[in-house]
Structure 1
């Protein structure tokens, strides 16, 4: 794997992740009703850091592979969609809109995973934990929507 490609993809991931610093959960999120299976807040940065490393490695593997244009386009789509969720959910406090973004993210991650797998099976495999986490995040977002009807306008 070319380290320059890895660094570029990792930078893209951390730029997307920077929205977490710009739009932190805050007290309003702490006060929301959440399901009992909600992970502790400390889990989120640990998981995302790991996933961003995997995503960057997948992007770098795809970048050095032939016939990679669809995989790289879908990688780009998912990172932009990833970056959108935090400002919508935490910044605007739009829980339903956040759920919509998460559905779009899930579709883009699944499509990217399939396209990456076709280019390099290792790249596709590196996206599998990401798809699992986005599935969990979507279920959590849906549960928060249902448990907090006052935020569903």
Structure 2
């Protein structure tokens, strides 16, 4: 039973942190007034998608953390989490689309780095990051499109 305490902590930090960041950095009128590409998802979709992705990110981090000699993968995991949590306040609170694009490009690179570093050590952890990588790639395209249009 105690082996699942670290998993619970990973879930609290990742899901809880993501939900807190989302709740304290809301889109607001500024975002509503931006020109957006036609492939922009409806606002209601983001919270459930991110919640599911945060669960997968937490489980992947926990799986890698349990192994020995995974410093590179864990460094990439923590870096991607920090960049993930940084993007929302940069975009919505600071209203800095250009810097948000820089942040999300770095986030995409660290997500891909984690997948590469975890692939041979714990394939399920790497696979848990594939939907996350796809969503971050889509979010990167969306951010770049909003930057271009505005």
Question: Which TM-score band applies after superposition, normalised by the shorter structure?
Answer: over 0.9
Please tell me whether the aligned partners of residues 25 and 93 of structure 2 are also in contact (alpha carbons under 8 angstroms): yes
Partner Cα separation in structure 2 for residue 17 and residue 118 of structure 1: 31
The CA deviation string for residues 30-79 of structure 1, in whole angstroms up to 9 with x for no partner, is 11110111001111011100001101110111121222221111111110
Task: For structure 1, list consecutive stretches of 5 or more residues without a partner in the other structure.
Answer: 149-153
Aligned partners of 1:55 and 1:127 also within 8 Å: yes
Matches of 1:26 and 1:95 in 2, distance apart?
A: 15
CA contact (8 A) 1:66 1:119 kept: no
Q: Secondary structure at the match of 2:120?
A: helix
Contact 2:18 2:54 in 1 (8 A): no
Partner of 2:138: 136
Q: What is the SS of the residue equivalent to 1:39?
A: coil
Cross-structure match for 1:50: 52
1:120-151, CA deviations, whole angstroms, 9 ceiling, x for partnerless residues? 00000000101000000000001101111xxx
What is the correspondence of 1:1-153 to structure 2 with a 5 Å cutoff? 2-13=3-14, 14-148=16-150
What is the number of equivalent residue pairs in this alignment? 148
Paired with 2:136 and 2:52, the residues of 1 have a C-alpha distance of 14
Distance 1:100 1:57 in 2: 27
What is the CA–CA distance in structure 2 between the aligned matches of 1:23 and 1:143, rounded to whole Å?
Answer: 21
Return the alpha-carbon distance in structure 2 between the equivalents of residues 103 and 17 of structure 1. 22
Structure 2 residue runs without a partner (length 5+): none
Distance in 1, Cα, partners of 2:44 & 2:8:
25
Could you say what the CA RMSD is over the residues aligned between the two structures, in angstroms? 1.4
User: How far apart, CA to CA, are the structure 2 residues paired with 1:34 and 1:28?
Assistant: 12
1:70-106 C-alpha deviation (Å, 9 max, x unpaired): 1111111110011110111001000011000000100
Q: With structure 2 as the length reference, what TM-score do the two structures score?
A: 0.93
